[in-house]
C-alpha cells in the first residue's frame, strides 16, 4: 500500500491506495486544538502522521510540499531544502516520516505546482468528487481540499498526471 499526504499546519489530508486503481481510504488528520500555537499543532500532526505510517505500513509515502520555485527545474521533486516558513509543517512531517524507513527512497516529496500542472483546486475538487463518489460529500464539504488533494496526488503519482480529461467528466474550461 502507498500513502499520500497533503500536509498543512491545520490539517493533513491523506489517501491510502493499494495500487493505482484501488483507493482504500482517505481522510484528514486534525489537531485536537485548532487554536493551539503553531508549533504544538504541527507537533501533533507529525505524531499522527508517524502513527499512521506505523499502522498501515505503506511501501511508499508521497508528501506534497508548498511550491518552491526551484523544484520544477529538478523534475518537481525536492529534498526539502529551502522550504519557506509556510512549508514548515510539510518539512517536519517529511523528516519524521522519512525516519520511519530504512530506505530513504520510500518517501518522495513533490512540489505542489509541479504535480497540479495548472489545475486549480476547484477543478481538482470536481474531478476527484466525480471519480470517487464514496468520498464526494466529504470532498465537496472540505474548505482546504486537503483529503481530495491527497487522493489527486495519488492519481498523479500512479498515472503520471491526473489521468482524467476535462471532457470526460464534462466539467468545462
Domain residue ranges in the chain: 2-169
Looking at CATH, the fold of the domain delimited by 2-169 is given as Nucleotidyltransferase; domain 5 (3.30.420)
Q: Which three cell numbers stand for residue 160?
A: 503520471
Per-residue confidence (pLDDT) for residue 73, from 0 to 100: 42
Low-confidence ranges of the chain (pLDDT < 70): 68-86, 161-173
Per-residue confidence (pLDDT) for residue 173, from 0 to 100: 32
Per-residue confidence (pLDDT) for residue 161, from 0 to 100: 60
Per-residue confidence (pLDDT) for residue 86, from 0 to 100: 53
User: Is residue 131 within 8 Å of residue 159, measured between CB atoms?
Assistant: no
User: Is residue 66 within 8 Å of residue 82, measured between CB atoms?
Assistant: no
Per-residue confidence (pLDDT) for residue 164, from 0 to 100: 45
Per-residue confidence (pLDDT) for residue 145, from 0 to 100: 84
Rounded Cα–Cα distance for residues 24 and 48 (Å): 19
Q: Which three cell numbers stand for residue 57?
A: 505500513
Distances (CA, A) of 171 to 31, 112, 118: 34, 22, 15
Amino acid at each position: 500500500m502507498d500513502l499520500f499526504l497533503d500536509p498543512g499546519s491545520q490539517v493533513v489530508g491523506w489517501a491510502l491506495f493499494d495500487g493505482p486503481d484501488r483507493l482504500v481510504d482517505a481522510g484528514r488528520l486534525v489537531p485536537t486544538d485548532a487554536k493551539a500555537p503553531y508549533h504544538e499543532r504541527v507537533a501533533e500532526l507529525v505524531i499522527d502522521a508517524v502513527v499512521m505510517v506505523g499502522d498501515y505500513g505503506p511501501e511508499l509515502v508521497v508528501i506534497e510540499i508548498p511550491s518552491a520555485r526551484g523544484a520544477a527545474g529538478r523534475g518537481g521533486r525536492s529534498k526539502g531544502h529551502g522550504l519557506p516558513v509556510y512549508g514548515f509543517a510539510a518539512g517536519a512531517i517529511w523528516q519524521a516520516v522519512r525516519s520511519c524507513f530504512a530506505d530513504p527512497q520510500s518517501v518522495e516529496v513533490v512540489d505542489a505546482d509541479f504535480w497540479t500542472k495548472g489545475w486549480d483546486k476547484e477543478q481538482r475538487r470536481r474531478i476527484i468528487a466525480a471519480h470517487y463518489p464514496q468520498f464526494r460529500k466529504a470532498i465537496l464539504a472540505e474548505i482546504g481540499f486537503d483529503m481530495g488533494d491527497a487522493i489527486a496526488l495519488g492519481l498523479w503519482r500512479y498515472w503520471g498526471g491526473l489521468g482524467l480529461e476535462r471532457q470526460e467528466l464534462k466539467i468545462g474550461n
